[in-house]
Structure 1
Amino acid sequence: MADTSTSILDRSRTIAGPGYNRWLVPPAALAIHLAIGQAYAFSVFNKPLGSLISGDPAKPDALDWTPTQIGITFSIAIVLLGLSAALFGKWLERVGPRKAMLASALCFGGGFLIGSLGVSLHNIFLLYFGYGFVGGIGLGIGYISPVSTLIKWFPDRKGVATGMAIMGFGGGAMIASPLSVALMTHFKASAPQGVAPTFITLGIIYFIFMQFGVWTIRVPASDWAPAGYVPNAEHSALVTAGNVSADNAIKTPQFWLLWVVLLTNVTAGIGLLETASPLIQDTFSDKAMGAGLGVTAAAAAGFVGLLSLFNLLGRFFWSSASDKLGRKTTYAIYFGLGILLYTLVPTLGHNLQLAFYVIAACVIVSMYGGGFATAPAFLSDLFGKYQVGAIHGRLLTAWSTAGVLGPLIVHQLHDHAKEQGLTGAAAYQNVFYTMAGLLVVGLLADLAITAVKEQYYEKGPVTVEAGGH
C-alpha cells in the first residue's frame, strides 16, 4: 500500500474532476510567483546588510560587507534560478506541480532561514548558500512549476494564462519591498538593522503563503479540452501538430534561436532596470536642469517603482496580445520598437525631455516583462505541450546568462565613459546604443525561427499529462 503522506503529493491526486473551473488554477500559480517575486526586492537589504557591524550605512566599518559582496548574493540566486529550472524541469513534468511547488516553498523559505543564520553570524558564505543557492533553487522550481499546467488548462489562451502567473513574479517586489522595510524597522531594536529576524519572518510568511498554490493546484485529465476548442487551429504556421521532448528540443535550431531572443531581450532590459535610479538622477541633475529642478533620490525611487509597475503590466498585456498577434510577431515588436527607443533615449536625455524619457523607459521595461511571459507560450507553439515545463526550464539558462551579462556590460561601459570625463546623459549613451545593437541580434534570431521539423517529434502517442516518463 502506498504511503498516504507521499501519495497526497502525487500527480494522480491533483487531476481535476469533471466540471472543474479552470479559472481556479491561475490564482494557485499566482501565489507561487508573487512569493518568489520577492527576489526583485532584494536591493532593500543592500544598505542594512552593509552596516551590520557599524550600524550606520554612511560610516561603514572595515568589517562590514561591501556592496559588491552583497550583490553576489542576488547574482547567485538568479544563476541558480536558471540552472535549477533546467536541471529539475523533467522531474517536474514527471512528479507534477504539487510536489514541485512544495519543494519550491521548502527551498525558498528555507533559504531565508539559512540566510538569517549567515546574517547573525556575519558569515557571507552562509548568506550565499542560504538565499543564493538554496533560495535560488526554490526560485527556479517555483518559476516553472505552474507554467506547463497553465498551458494545458488554457491551450486556447496560452499567452493570457502564462501572463497571469508570470505577472506575479514581476509584481512580487511591490509587496516584498514595503513589507521588508517595515519588518526591519520593527526588529531594529533587537538585532543589527533588524535583518536576521526579518529574514526568519519572511521565510515563514512565504512558505505559508505558497501553500495555497501547493494544495489548490490541479492538472486536467489527459482527454480534457475547453468547450469548442479545435487543436492546432491557431493562426500561426509555427504551431506544431506534434510533441517534442525536452531532450530533442535542445537539438533543434528553433530552441537556440529562441534562447538568443530571450537572452538579448533580458540583457537589454536589465541594462535599464539595473541602473534606473542613478541613471535618471545623473541625466536630470540640478547641474543639467538648474538648481532645485533636478530629479531627487525620492523622485528616482518613484521612477523605479513606476518601472516595476510597467514590468508587471507588460507581462500580462504583451503575452495576452501574443494570442492574437502570434508570438513571432510580438517579439518582432519588442525588438523593432525597442531598437527605436534605445537609440532615442540618449537624445531625450541630452535635450532634457524628462516626460518623454520616462515614457520611453516604461515602454521598454513593459516589453522586458512581456518577453518573459510570452516565452512559455512560444515554446508550446513550437514544441507542443508534452514537456513544455522542462523545455522552459532549459530556456531560462538564457536569463541566468543575461543576469551576469547585462550588469557587466552596463558597468564596464559606464565606468569607461566616466574615465573619459563624460557626465550626465553622455555617460550612459553608449550603454543604450550597445543594448540597441543587442536587440538587432535578437530581431534577426526571431525572424529566423521557423516551424520545427517532424523528425524531432515523438513517435507514437504520448501522455502529455504524465510528462512522457
Structure 2
Amino acid sequence: MATDSFLDRRRTIAGPGYNRWLVPPAALAIHLAIGQAYAFSVFKKPMGALISGNVDKPDALDWTPGQLAVVFSIAIVLLGLSAAVFGKWLERVGPRKAMLASALCFGGGFLIASLGVEQHNIWLVYFGYGFVGGCGLGIGYISPVSTLIKWFPDRPGVATGMAIMGFGGGAMIGSPLAVALMAQFKDVAPMGVAPTFIAMGIIYLIFMMFGVFTIRVPAEGWKPEGFVPNTQSNALITTANVDADNAIKTPQFWLLWVVLCMNVTAGIGVLESASPLIQESFSDTAMGVGRGVTAAAAAGFVGLLSLFNLLGRFFWSSASDKLGRKPTYMIYFGLGIVLYALVPTLAANASLTLFVVVCCVIMSMYGGGFATIPAYLRDMFGTMQVGAIHGRLLTAWSTAGVLGPLLVNYLRDMQKAKNLTGAAAYETVFYTMAGVLVVGFMANLLVTAVSARYHVKEAALAKVIA
C-alpha cells in the first residue's frame, strides 16, 4: 500500500484533543497574502513610467492607465473562475494541497510579471499577475474558508469573518511593502518595479507556506463539545447536505448569486468614486479657502474606508451568527439603500463629517457581504461541499468586478459631459447604486429553504466521504 504524501488530505486530519483555534492563523496566512491584490494600484504610476522614468510625464511608449487597469480586472475575473473550476477538486484533495497550489500560482505570478516588466511586455504581466496570480487568488480564497466552516459549525459567521477579514487587510500590508521595496530598488531597475515583484513573489510564497504546513481538517463526525445543531429557530439552516452540482440547479443558489453580485457592484461605486468625490465636493470653493480636502487627506479617507472594509468583515459576519444570515443581508441592503441615496445630499451640503461616517458604514457592509456569504451557503447547502459551492458563487464577484467599474465610469463621464462638477457629477452614480441594492434586497427576500429533493441521500453521502 502506497504511503500517503505530506500533501494528502488524510495527513491533515487532526488528532484527538486538537485545538481548533490553531486553524485561523493558517487561514489568515493565506488571505493576508492574496489580499495584496487590493493594493495593486500602488504599481500603476510606476509601471506607467518605466520608459520615461517620470510619473508626471510618461513617454508615448509607456503603458497607459487603461492598459494597467486590465491587469487587476483579469486577476479578479480569474479569481471567480478558478474558484468555480477548482472548488470540487479542493474538497477532494483537501486544503493543504490547494493552499500549496495557491501559493505557487500567486508567488509565481509575481515572478512572471517581473519578467514582463523587465522586457516591457504587457502580455507577460497580464499572464503572470493576472492569469496565473488570479488562479492563486481563487484557489487560496476558498480553501481556508471551507475548512474553517467545518471547524466552527457553532459559529460559522465568526469563522468566515476571521479568514476573509485577512483578505480585506492584505492591502494594508501589501501597499507599504511594495512602496518600500520600490524605493529600495529604484537605483537598480526602472522605478524599482521588476525586483520588487521578484521580492514580493518570494516573500508571499514563504509566508503562505505557514498556512500549508499548519492547516488541519477535523475528523469525520467531529463536533465541538456540547454542540447540538439548532434548526428550529431558523428554517433556512439545514442539517442535510447538497453537492455542488445540484446546488447550482437550485433557485436559492442563483438568488444568492444576485445578492453577492449586487452587494459588490454597489460597493465598487464607493471605492471608485470616494477619493475624487470627496476632493471635488469638499473643495476650497465649497468649504472656504484653506478648508478643502487635499489629495493627502483624500488618500487618508481611502485608507479609512479600507479599515472599515476590514473590520466590517468580522463584525457583520460574527453578528450574523446571532441575527441570522438573511436578516443580516436585509440590513446590508435596506440600510445601504438609504445611505447610498444620502451620500450626494451630504456632499452637496458640504457635511463632511456625516459624509465620512456614512461612507465608512457603507464600506463595512460591503466587506461584511463577502464574509457572510460562505456562512449563508453553509446554512442553505450544508458543509459537505461548501467550498466548491462558494467557489462557483464567486463568479458573481468576477461579474461585479467588471460590471461595477464600467457602470460607475460610464455614469460619471456622462454627467461630466453635461459640465456637471462636484457632487452633481456623482449623483447619478450613487442613486443608481441604491437601485442596484434594491435588486439585491428583493433577491434576498425571495430566499427560502432548499427543497429536500436536492439533498444528498445517506448512501451517496457515505460514498462521497469515502
Deviation at 1:283, TM superposition (A): 1.4
State the AA in 2 paired with 1:396. L
2:391 is matched with which residue? 393
State the AA in 2 paired with 1:257. L
1:454 is matched with which residue? 452
1:2 is matched with which residue? 2
Q: Residues 467 and 44 (structure 1 numbering): CA distance in 2 closer, same or farther, change over 3 Å?
A: farther
CA–CA distance in structure 2, aligned partners of residues 438 and 163 of structure 1: 24
Q: Residues 468 and 408 (structure 1 numbering): CA distance in 2 closer, same or farther, change over 3 Å?
A: farther
Is residue 148 of structure 2 the alignment partner of residue 160 of structure 1?
A: no
Q: Residues 461 and 306 (structure 1 numbering): CA distance in 2 closer, same or farther, change over 3 Å?
A: farther
8 Å contact from structure 1 (residues 387, 467) kept in 2:
no
Structure 1 residues 138-217: aligned runs within 5 Å: 138-217=136-215
8 Å contact from structure 2 (residues 231, 238) kept in 1:
no
Q: Residues 71 and 467 (structure 1 numbering): CA distance in 2 closer, same or farther, change over 3 Å?
A: farther
8 Å contact from structure 1 (residues 14, 98) kept in 2:
yes
State the AA in 2 paired with 1:386. M
8 Å contact from structure 1 (residues 232, 240) kept in 2:
no
Of 357, 360, 368, 1:359 maps to 357
CA–CA distance in structure 1, aligned partners of residues 306 and 383 of structure 2: 31
SS at match of 1:134: helix
State the AA in 2 paired with 1:124. I
CA–CA distance in structure 2, aligned partners of residues 135 and 87 of structure 1: 15
8 Å contact from structure 1 (residues 159, 373) kept in 2:
yes
State the AA in 1 paired with 2:371. A
Measured on the aligned residues, the alpha-carbon RMSD in Å equals 1.2
Of 399, 402, 427, 2:400 maps to 402
CA–CA distance in structure 2, aligned partners of residues 313 and 467 of structure 1: 37
Structure 1 residues 457-468: aligned runs within 5 Å: 457-461=455-459, 468=465
CA–CA distance in structure 2, aligned partners of residues 468 and 147 of structure 1: 19
CA–CA distance in structure 1, aligned partners of residues 222 and 112 of structure 2: 42
CA–CA distance in structure 2, aligned partners of residues 174 and 47 of structure 1: 19
1:278 is matched with which residue? 276
SS at match of 1:368: helix
2:252 is matched with which residue? 254
Is residue 34 of structure 2 the alignment partner of residue 36 of structure 1?
A: yes
Identity of matched residues, %? 77
State the AA in 1 paired with 2:412. H
Of 126, 129, 132, 2:130 maps to 132
Deviation at 1:290, TM superposition (A): 2.1
8 Å contact from structure 1 (residues 78, 403) kept in 2:
yes
Moved more, 226-235 or 434-443: 226-235
8 Å contact from structure 1 (residues 46, 67) kept in 2:
yes
8 Å contact from structure 1 (residues 48, 57) kept in 2:
yes
SS at match of 1:221: coil
Moved more, 232-241 or 170-179: 232-241
CA–CA distance in structure 1, aligned partners of residues 232 and 124 of structure 2: 50
2:86 is matched with which residue? 88
Q: Deviations over 1:89-143 (max 9, x none)?
A: 0000000000000000000000000000000000000000000000000000000
Structure 1 residues 44-59: aligned runs within 5 Å: 44-59=42-57
State the AA in 2 paired with 1:253. P
Q: Deviations over 1:12-69 (max 9, x none)?
A: 0000000000000011000000000000000000100000000001111000000000
Is residue 220 of structure 2 the alignment partner of residue 222 of structure 1?
A: yes
CA–CA distance in structure 2, aligned partners of residues 438 and 173 of structure 1: 27
8 Å contact from structure 1 (residues 254, 450) kept in 2:
yes
Deviation at 1:275, TM superposition (A): 2.5
CA–CA distance in structure 1, aligned partners of residues 273 and 107 of structure 2: 28
Deviation at 1:279, TM superposition (A): 1.8
1:117 is matched with which residue? 115
Of 336, 339, 359, 2:337 maps to 339
Q: Deviations over 1:267-315 (max 9, x none)?
A: 0001111232112111111222222211101000100100000000000
**Corresponding residue pairs, total:** 466
Q: Residues 412 and 217 (structure 1 numbering): CA distance in 2 closer, same or farther, change over 3 Å?
A: same
CA–CA distance in structure 1, aligned partners of residues 381 and 184 of structure 2: 50
Of 97, 100, 107, 2:98 maps to 100
Of 270, 285, 288, 1:287 maps to 285
State the AA in 2 paired with 1:66. T
8 Å contact from structure 1 (residues 235, 326) kept in 2:
no
SS at match of 1:141: helix
Q: Residues 377 and 99 (structure 1 numbering): CA distance in 2 closer, same or farther, change over 3 Å?
A: same
SS at match of 2:15: coil
Is residue 411 of structure 2 the alignment partner of residue 413 of structure 1?
A: yes
Deviation at 1:2, TM superposition (A): 2.8
State the AA in 1 paired with 2:266. A
Question: Which ranges of structure 1 fall in alignment gaps of 5 or more residues?
Answer: none
Q: Deviations over 1:321-344 (max 9, x none)?
A: 000000000000000000000000
Q: Deviations over 1:193-225 (max 9, x none)?
A: 000000000000000000010010000000210
8 Å contact from structure 1 (residues 94, 468) kept in 2:
no
Structure 1 residues 227-242: aligned runs within 5 Å: 227-233=225-231, 235-242=233-240
8 Å contact from structure 1 (residues 73, 132) kept in 2:
yes
CA–CA distance in structure 2, aligned partners of residues 440 and 224 of structure 1: 41
8 Å contact from structure 1 (residues 222, 463) kept in 2:
no
SS at match of 1:145: helix
SS at match of 2:458: coil
Deviation at 1:401, TM superposition (A): 0.3
8 Å contact from structure 2 (residues 71, 129) kept in 1:
yes
Of 263, 266, 273, 2:264 maps to 266
CA–CA distance in structure 2, aligned partners of residues 447 and 218 of structure 1: 37
State the AA in 2 paired with 1:2. A
CA–CA distance in structure 2, aligned partners of residues 294 and 281 of structure 1: 7
8 Å contact from structure 2 (residues 107, 201) kept in 1:
yes
State the AA in 2 paired with 1:112. F
8 Å contact from structure 1 (residues 92, 389) kept in 2:
yes
State the AA in 2 paired with 1:80. L
CA–CA distance in structure 2, aligned partners of residues 279 and 363 of structure 1: 17
Return the TM-score normalized by structure 1: 0.98
SS at match of 1:146: helix
Return the TM-score normalized by structure 2: 0.98
CA–CA distance in structure 2, aligned partners of residues 458 and 261 of structure 1: 25
CA–CA distance in structure 2, aligned partners of residues 187 and 467 of structure 1: 51
